Structure 1
Amino acid sequence: MTMTQDRLLALRDLLRDFELPLEHAHQGPFLGAALRQLRDDGLDRLPLPGGGDTLRRWQALATVAGADLSLLKLYEGHTDALAILAELDGDALPGTWAVWAAEPPGVSVRIDTREDGQVRISGSKAWCSGAAVVEHALVTVKDEQQRSQLVAVTLAQPGVSVGSGGWNAVGMAATHSVTVDFDNALARCVGGPEEYLQRPGFWHGGAGIAACWYGAASRLASYLRYGHSDDPHAMAHLGAVDAALAGAAGALRECAGWIDEHPAAPSELAARRVRAQVEGAVEAVQWHVGRALGATPFCRDRRFARLAADLPVFLRQSHGERDLAHLGLHLKAGHEEAWAL
């Protein structure tokens, strides 16, 4: 079952009235149930990146992002895990998945021993979104030679401990992005050392995150489009928002087409470029919507306020000027004309 146009419409219909419960304690289980519903309905079976229908995949991600960014965080991780497993010939066990690949300084997971084609892992993994509600995870660990190795872990086993603290942000709070501790937990290797980072799909997935940013920004912009008078200043802000989103949409379509035409080609430059383009558009949307609407929706509209709090945190999956510097270095090292029309 794949994401046809009809199923994309079904996804939009299902999420049209999605809203997290007000009580913070109930948000995690609610998100877990919503993710399982999407999986049970087959709405997680997205076209694989580079398979000829990358734009449809990104449209699904943008749709979920427009409904709720915390749900999107879990949904994107789950669908990314399925794509990674398909690319690296790993078996996807039934259930919900996450991808935990952050490598902050001083916190890591290592392979302790190998046994019967599997490995035992120990250590701590930070920024584990959805840890309390998903069933399996793809986790980056260090092998015996300190190389990055991707492993698949089932969480309901001895030696896996999900933390409960460490996330103090108001934005994206429902994702419960906590630290998970592993103590001689059983896992299996997915692909070889460094293969997770070197595969073509790594940057395909990175570009897809920009589609998530776009979907959330489009939803934020809708409050200005449909909920304001024809005040000329508001209309000027709306015009600026439209121009920014149209440019970002064009960049996403172009990048998706390029990936489908060159599925095995190095795509870091294309991915970094589209991420920078969309990030700039999203920041413009945030500024213009806030200027046009003033304090009222931030204070009186719970869904708007949640989105306005979640989006800046989620957007920081970009590394700002560091990402732009990498883009500049790639461009500097190239030999083709970059800006020919």
Structure 2
Amino acid sequence: MMPSLGLKAPAPFDLPAGLRETTPTCQRAAIHHVAGQAEWAALDWPGLVEALMALGRTDIPLARLTEGHVDALRVMAEAGATPDPDALYGVWASRSGGTGLSGKPVRGGWHLTGRLLFASGAGVLDRALVTVWPEEDCHLLLDVAVSGWSFDTSAWRTRAMEHSRSHRIELDAVVSARQIGANNFYLTRSSFFPGGVGVAAVWTGGAARVLDLLAQSTEVPAAVSDPRRVRLGRARTDLASAVALVRQTAAALRASHVGGAPGSAGEGQAAEHQEPLRTLATLCRAGVGAAVRRILDDVRALAGPAGLAFDEDLNRAVDDVALYVAQQSQDGDAVYVGGSA
């Protein structure tokens, strides 16, 4: 996919209306549809962020699910592993709030116990890459079939990103699994921190979708006053800034030969080699996150109560992006960047 000219976000993917339904069957078909429009595992960083921005501009929860599938494919390629053909993947590696999985090998597979939060695509995906901690200082990445797992839909209490199906899973079971990469591979890959740049690209595309929906809304006043021009001008400038930051970071990652594509070196990166990549990725995520939040503030003011109350697509998109970008720790990133050389 070629970059758009200038500082505009790339156009959305073509997504037939029938694939915008939110049933598991339609979501599976939609992920397959958009995933089939690029050779995701083979894309270099500039190509990847262009495709992910386009994906975010297409549909935000769908972008969340497809980005997880793409991330899994690229992680496996980096490890020299081959995914199951035609399977939809996710990466379930969150340890938010002290959660996560512990496990040990047993006859017949792995005995996994623990709680997974933010298991996006639960009930839709076929397989997931999950991090398992047999010991406190050792983690493994396992490729596991998850289509038969039970999950708790009652824990998600907001309408925002509900179509990402990011449910909670309690696990105490023996499962068949294969290990991806060596011990401690997942967190020490050269592309671990840069992977967050891909998520920032989706946030950027999501912000572009919000502005698209604002322009299309019949509930938002058409008259453009000076105060409205100010907010529109700020929002468009912030979007251009986010697009530029994502693209520039991707170019720097390509020049650094960072892993994440077939044949790249990705295991066992020493801390001194990880820190520059962490700084680069954190600066990108922090800058994009701040720009996207400002865009949402201006869009809420421009939409007014009518646009937010009566335009469901716009309202959902605003809420979806707001929750999605909330995963970026503003204070934590600021502390890290402030202390980095």
- Fold shared by both chains (TM-score > 0.5): yes
**Secondary structure of 1:295's match?**
helix
How far apart are residue 164 of structure 1 and its match? Answer: 2.9
Q: Deviations over 1:187-233 (max 9, x none)?
A: 11111222211111112211111111111111212345566333221
Q: Deviations over 1:248-293 (max 9, x none)?
A: 2221111011000002464111100011111111111111122223
**Secondary structure of 2:14's match?**
helix
Instruction: Pick the aligned partner of 2:146 from 137, 140, 155.
Output: 155
Q: Equivalent residues in 2 for 1:1-341 (5 A)?
A: 3=1, 12-15=12-15, 17=17, 20-21=20-21, 26-39=22-35, 42-46=36-40, 48=42, 53-94=44-85, 95-114=87-106, 119-144=110-135, 146-156=137-147, 160-182=149-171, 183-224=173-214, 228-264=222-258, 266=274, 267-330=277-340, 334=341
- Structure 2 gaps, min length 5: 4-9, 259-272
Change (3 A) 1:179 1:223: closer
Query: Distance between the aligned counterparts of 2:34 and 2:164, measured in 1?
Result: 17
How far apart are residue 16 of structure 1 and its match? Answer: 7.1
How far apart are residue 104 of structure 1 and its match? Answer: 2.5
197-206 vs 70-79, which moves further: 197-206
Query: Distance between the aligned counterparts of 1:242 and 1:11, measured in 2?
Result: 15
Change (3 A) 1:144 1:192: same
Structure showing greater relative contact order (alpha-carbon pairs closer than 8 Å, 6 or more residues apart): 2
Conservation of the 8 A alpha-carbon contact between 2:207 and 2:292: yes
Query: Distance between the aligned counterparts of 1:69 and 1:34, measured in 2?
Result: 12
Conservation of the 8 A alpha-carbon contact between 1:20 and 1:27: no
Conservation of the 8 A alpha-carbon contact between 1:44 and 1:79: no
Change (3 A) 1:184 1:47: closer
298-307 vs 26-35, which moves further: 26-35
| 1:338 equivalent in structure 2 | none
Query: Distance between the aligned counterparts of 1:282 and 1:141, measured in 2?
Result: 33
Change (3 A) 1:233 1:93: same
- Structure 1 gaps, min length 5: 335-341
Say how many residue pairs are matched.
Answer: 314
Query: Distance between the aligned counterparts of 2:37 and 2:311, measured in 1?
Result: 29
Change (3 A) 1:164 1:248: closer
Q: TM-score, normalised by structure 1?
A: 0.84
**Identical-residue share of aligned pairs (%):** 25
Query: Distance between the aligned counterparts of 1:319 and 1:209, measured in 2?
Result: 13
Query: Distance between the aligned counterparts of 2:127 and 2:2, measured in 1?
Result: 27
Query: Distance between the aligned counterparts of 1:292 and 1:156, measured in 2?
Result: 42
Q: TM-score, normalised by structure 2?
A: 0.84
Change (3 A) 1:43 1:11: farther
RMSD, aligned CA: 2.5
Query: Distance between the aligned counterparts of 1:180 and 1:250, measured in 2?
Result: 38
Change (3 A) 1:99 1:13: closer
Q: Deviations over 1:64-94 (max 9, x none)?
A: 2112211011100000000000011122112
Displacement over 3 Å in runs of 4+? 10-13, 16-21, 26-29, 223-228
Conservation of the 8 A alpha-carbon contact between 1:251 and 1:274: yes
**Secondary structure of 2:183's match?**
coil
